[in-house]
Amino acid sequence: MTDTARRVIRLNYGFQLLFNLLWWMPVFYAYQKAAGLSDGQIFGIQSIYYVAFCLFEIPTGLIADRIGTRNCLRAGAVVMTAANLAPVVSASYTGFLVHFLAIAAGRSLTSGAASAYLYDGLQAEKCGEHYLKAEGTARALGLAAKVVCWPLIGPLMSVAHAAPYVLSALSAAGSLACAVALPRLAGADEGTGKATERTSGGRRGGDFLRDAGSALRCVASSRWLALVMVQGVGVFTLSRICQVNLFQPILLDHGIAEASHGGVLAAMTVAEAVASARPQWLSSRLTPVAWVSILSLALAGTLAAMTLGGPWAVVTLLCLFAAATGFAYPVQRKLVNDAVPAHAPRATLLSVESIVDRAVCALAAVAAGAYLSAGHLDALLWHSALATAVLLGAFQLFLRSGMVKRGPMVAAPGGLPAGAEGPDTTDADRQAPTDRAALGTDPGRESLHDAGDADRLTEGGRRRPRG
């Protein structure tokens, strides 16, 4: 790797670790209960959070492509720092609602921008083959930090009750320092507005609506891109609802005291961190799409099994659930990134994926609150597992129908699809390189595929030079 690529990766590690280090995560349910909120209020806030995230994702993805991903990361870190201080100022329903709304804004500013900056930055340095490892390792390091920090929450709260939120604000401020230090990468992080000005002789580029239209046309023109996005819904919704919303209710339902919740969450985080750092452990005999489907079914199966076991079995199943999540996330993220055309507004498209994920989570949070208020936790887990199985069944039927062309799209200049998406194959042995030999066991070659190979094709089939 070049020195610039190493710097990009290291600062991305620091940003992802500190930005996502939410010290309050293991105790926020009990914290809000202690503040006088009911289950309906707590899960109602969560549903509002997911809806707000969807709404914020629309403008923030466009902003990232317009002003540049670096500036978007900086803005997100500032908002996240302020968000974590809201419950300190007001530990009430209003305070927690403002807290989660601000978190939705901060996270939406970075959800697509962080991945887009890393992907495009490594491509600009001709180091795209290191993306998968960098993405997985960043997640693993962030999870490892949580393993160290979360068990300390109980003792720290006995000293200062608001400590989880104050420490989360300090961590977010640290992520801002990393975002400020990120290097400028020519053509990779400056935003489409500036790029368009340079290529059009100083004339102003298009507006936000044009970027949004370009992103939507990319999704509409590529069944493969849309299908890959939809496949990720199962992984994201199950992992989010279980590890955030249902984690404490599941433990409390099995008689596991609050004092042990930090330790259990730390054990889950270890399992997820190890799996996130080693996606190459997955056999290359199956395609990445197949692996995401299998891991989604594993998540559903562990949820259903939690209704049958005792406390130790539940803790073990939660750790297996976390490991499956760790394997799935980097693979799913790489699949989506590889399916995005070379000149498309990448951050906007990643925001589109995030919108779909959060929209489903908003509905799931409302349902979870209703189930818990009625005392039907086991029914909620079983129904979640069945819904996932039905979704994946429909996905596989559509995939095998021959109506979908697999592989990355070939984009015409300007971000509009050129109409070619790679070979129309439904046989795994004849798939495009993006979806084939994706999970090698050689640590030095952990990329699913260098998307630059596809990006260097023009609509006329000719190759243009790298860079």
Instruction: Give me 221's structure tokens.
Output: 């023109």
Between 316 and 221, whose confidence is greater?
316
Q: How much is the average pLDDT of 431-456?
A: 37
**What average pLDDT does the segment 117-137 reach?**
82
pLDDT above 60 (res 427): no
User: Domains along the chain?
Assistant: 3-189+213-399 (1.20.1250.20)
Beta-carbon count within 10 A of 93 CB? 17
Which tokens hold the place of 106? 């901060």
Say if residue 6's pLDDT is above 70: yes
Bigger pLDDT: 322 vs 252 = 322
pLDDT of residue 82: 93
440 pLDDT exceeds 70?
A: no
pLDDT in tens, 219-262: 766 777 778 887 878 788 888 878 777 888 888 888 887 667 77
Angle at CA 361, nearest 5°, toward 356 and 362? 100
Contacts of 31 (CB under 8 A, 6+ apart): 24, 87, 91, 164
Query: What is the rounded average pLDDT for all residues in the chain?
Result: 74
> Is 95:86 a contact under the CB 8 Å cutoff?
yes
AA letter at 181: A
What is the residue-wise DSSP string for 181-211? HPPP-TTTSS-HHHHHHHHTTT-----HHHH
Whether residue 455 is predicted with pLDDT greater than 90 in this model: the reply is: no
Query: How confident is the model at residue 190, as a pLDDT?
Result: 55
459: Cβ contacts below 8 Å, ≥ 6 apart: 410, 412, 418, 419, 420
pLDDT digits (tens, 9 = 90+) for 384-423: 888 888 888 888 787 777 666 555 443 333 333 333 333 3
* Dist CA 121 CA 4 (whole Å): 9
CA 293 vs CA 245, 388, 429: distances in Å = 23, 10, 18
Report the percentage of the chain scoring pLDDT > 90: 10
What are residue 411's DSSP bridge partners? 417
Of 123, 247, 266, 253, which Cα lies nearest the Cα of 187?
Answer: 123
Q: Residue 296 and residue 307: Cα distance in Å, rounded?
A: 18
Q: What are phi and psi of 390, to 5 degrees?
A: -65, -45
Number of H helices, E strands in the chain: 18, 2
Integer angstrom CA distances of residue 332 from 146, 279, 453: 23, 11, 20
Per DSSP, the three-state class of 55 is helix
Query: Which tokens sit at 340?
Result: 């995005």
Whole-number pLDDT of residue 64: 67
126 phi and psi, to 5 degrees? Answer: 60, 35
One-letter-per-residue 3-state SS of 132-152: HHHHHHHHHHHHHHHHHHHHH
Give the DSSP letter of residue 259: G
Q: Which of 384, 464, 447, 459 has the alpha carbon at shortest distance from 414?
A: 459
In our burial notation (b when 16+ CB lie closer than 10 A, e otherwise), range 132-156 reads: bbbbbbbbbbbbbbbbebbbebbeb
H or E element: which one contains 420?
strand 417-420
Q: How much is the pLDDT for 441?
A: 37
Q: What is the pLDDT of residue 365?
A: 78
Identify whether the C-beta of residue 8 lies closer than 8 Å to the C-beta of residue 181.
Answer: no
Report pLDDT for 458.
33
194-203 tens-digit pLDDT: 433 333 333 3
Q: Which of 84-98, 267-281, 296-310 has the least mean pLDDT?
A: 267-281
**Confidence class for position 204, pLDDT limits 50, 70, 90:** very low
**N residues, the chain:** 467
Q: Which residues contact 196 (CB under 8 A, 6 or more apart)?
A: 203, 204, 205, 206
Question: 39-53, 242-256, 309-323, 335-349: which has the minimum mean pLDDT?
Answer: 335-349
User: Side-chain half-sphere of 291: how many Cα atoms within 13 Å?
Assistant: 28
Mean pLDDT of 110-129: 81
